[in-house]
Chain A
C-alpha cells in the first residue's frame, strides 16, 4: 500500500513538471497580449469554378484541401501541439489562398511535410499545395510547379542583441557560424572565412547562440526573423541579406489552372493589404519591417 502511494506521488510530481514545462519558453501562440497585431481573417469565395484543375476538383469533391507545411519554424510555419493549432506567415499565406479557392479555415487539412519529401508528396497527390519556405529553382521546376513568389528571402545573420561586431557578411572572418546540415547557406559563408557548425535543425543552432557558443546563425531571413520574434529582446537579425531565395507555393507539375488561381489569390491579398497584416502579425514581431511585396512570376 505504501509503495503504491509513493508511486502515485512520484507520478503526480512528474505530471506537474510536465504541465509546468508546457507553458514555458514563450511558445509562439502564447503571445496573447492585445496590443500585438492580429492576423486578418479571409473571406471565403463561394463561386469558385476551377474544373480545369484535377487537383482542385478532387479537393472540392472531398470538401477539404490538403496543404503541406513546416511545423518547426516559429512565426513562419509552426504547429503548436498543445493547442493543436498552426500559426505563422506561411500558414497565413496558405489560408488566404485556400479562402480564394473556396475553402474555409476548417476545410484546410494541414500536413507536416519535411523538406526532403516535398516533391514526392506533391507528385503523389498526398498534398494539394505546399507552403513552407519553398525556394523556386530550375531543378525543382522539373518535378513540381510554383506559384508566386510570395516572399523574397535572403540569407542573413541572427546574432545576440548585444553583439556589435557582426554587421554583415563581411565581418564573419573567424567567427563561429551555425546553420542546418546540408543547407546552401554553408557554401555562402565558408568562403567568407567563417567557421561553420551544422546541426539537424535551427533550434539547436539558436540554443548554441543563446549560450554564446556560436557567434551567429545563418539562413534565410524569414526563418531567422521567426526565431528573433520567439526570443524577443535577446536576439536580432542583422538585416544585410546576401542571397535571394524566392519562396513559392509548390503545386503538382503542370496544373496550370490551379497555378493561375493561386497566383490570382496572392495578387488579390497583396493588393488589399492582407499580406502586410499577416506579416506584421507574425514575422513582424521580430522588429524587422515588412519588405516590399515581390512581383509574381507567372509562367
Chain B
C-alpha cells in the first residue's frame, strides 16, 4: 500500500502527475481555441473554410491518437520540423481534441434558434458579430455538459504521450514495475490520481453550469 512513500517513489509520481496536468492544461487551451475557430469555419458562409473545417474534423477525429503522436514524433522530424517531445505531444493532443471540441460547439450552435441569427442580421450585425455576440454565448451554455466529457477524456488521453518520451502519470507505472513493485498497488495510486484530476474538471464544469444556467 505504501509503495508511494518509499525509495524516492513519491517524487517520480509527483513529477508524472504535474506532467499530466501540464500536458492536459496546455492541450485543453489550444484545443478550445482551435476547436472554436474550426466550429466558426464550419458554419461560416465561405465554402473554402467549410471544406477545411470538415476535412480537419474528418481526419483528426478518425485517426487514433497513438498514430497522431507517432506521426508528430517520428514523421515531422523527417520533414525537418524539430520540437521537444513535450511540444509534439501538446500538438498531437490539441489537434486531436480540437476536432471533438469543434463538433460539440457546432452542435451547440445548431441548438440556437435560427430566428436569433436572423434578428442579429436584421440589426445590421456581420457574421462575426452574429456568431460572437449572439449565437456563441447561447451555444456555449448548452454545450457545457458534452464539453466537460471532452475535457475529462483529455487527461486520460494524455497517457499516450508517456510512450513518446514524456514522463507523465501513466508512464510512472513502468518505472515502478522495473523496480519490481506489485502491479496492483501501482495502478491503484495511478487510478486515484486520474480520478482526482477528472473530479476536479467535472466539479469545475458543474460550477460553470450553475453560474451560467439560464431559463429558456
Chain A residues with a Cβ under 8 A of chain B: 115-117, 119-120, 137-140, 143, 180-184, 197-200, 204, 207-208, 211, 213
Give me the 7 closest cross-chain CB pairs, A-B, nearest first: A182-B174, A139-B180, A200-B163, A182-B175, A140-B180, A181-B171, A197-B165
Question: Is the Cβ of B177 less than 8 Å from the Cβ of A198?
Answer: no
Question: Is the Cβ of B177 less than 8 Å from the Cβ of A182?
Answer: yes
| Min CB–CB distance A195 → chain B (angstroms) | 11
- Tell me whether B52 is interfacial, beta carbon within 8 Å: no
Question: Is the Cβ of A183 less than 8 Å from the Cβ of B174?
Answer: yes
Grouping DSSP codes into helix (H, G, I), strand (E, B) and loop, the B interface class, with mixed when no group exceeds half, is helix
Question: Is the Cβ of A211 less than 8 Å from the Cβ of B78?
Answer: yes
Q: List 19 A-B contacts (CB under 8 A).
A: A115-B178, A116-B174, A119-B182, A119-B183, A120-B183, A137-B180, A180-B174, A181-B171, A182-B174, A182-B175, A182-B176, A183-B174, A183-B178, A184-B178, A197-B85, A198-B171, A199-B165, A200-B164, A211-B78
Assembled-state Cα–Cα distance A197/B178 (Å): 17
Question: Is the Cβ of A207 less than 8 Å from the Cβ of B177?
Answer: no
Assembled-state Cα–Cα distance A182/B179 (Å): 9
12 more A-B residue pairs beyond the given contacts A181-B171, A182-B173, A198-B171, with a C-beta to C-beta distance below 8 A? A119-B182, A120-B183, A139-B179, A139-B181, A181-B167, A182-B171, A182-B172, A199-B163, A200-B164, A204-B74, A211-B77, A211-B78
Chain B residues with CB under 8 A of A199: 73, 163-165
- Tell me whether B162 is interfacial, beta carbon within 8 Å: yes
Chain A residues with CB under 8 A of B176: 182
Chain A residues with CB under 8 A of B180: 137-140
- Do A213 and B178 form a contact, CB below 8 Å, given A119-B183, A199-B164? no
User: Which partner residue on chain B sits nearest A180 by CB separation?
Assistant: B174
Assembled-state Cα–Cα distance A86/B163 (Å): 26
> What 0/1 readout, one digit per residue, does chain B (169-213) give for beta carbons within 8 Å of chain A?
001111111111111000000000000000000000000000000
| Min CB–CB distance B213 → chain A (angstroms) | 44
| Min CB–CB distance B193 → chain A (angstroms) | 16
| Min CB–CB distance A11 → chain B (angstroms) | 21
Assembled-state Cα–Cα distance A100/B70 (Å): 44
Chain B residues with CB under 8 A of A116: 173-174, 177, 183
Q: Which of B73, B77, B177 contacts A115 (CB 8 A)?
A: B177
Chain B residues with CB under 8 A of A117: 183
Assembled-state Cα–Cα distance A116/B183 (Å): 7
Assembled-state Cα–Cα distance A213/B75 (Å): 12
Question: Is the Cβ of B178 less than 8 Å from the Cβ of A182?
Answer: yes
| Min CB–CB distance B145 → chain A (angstroms) | 34
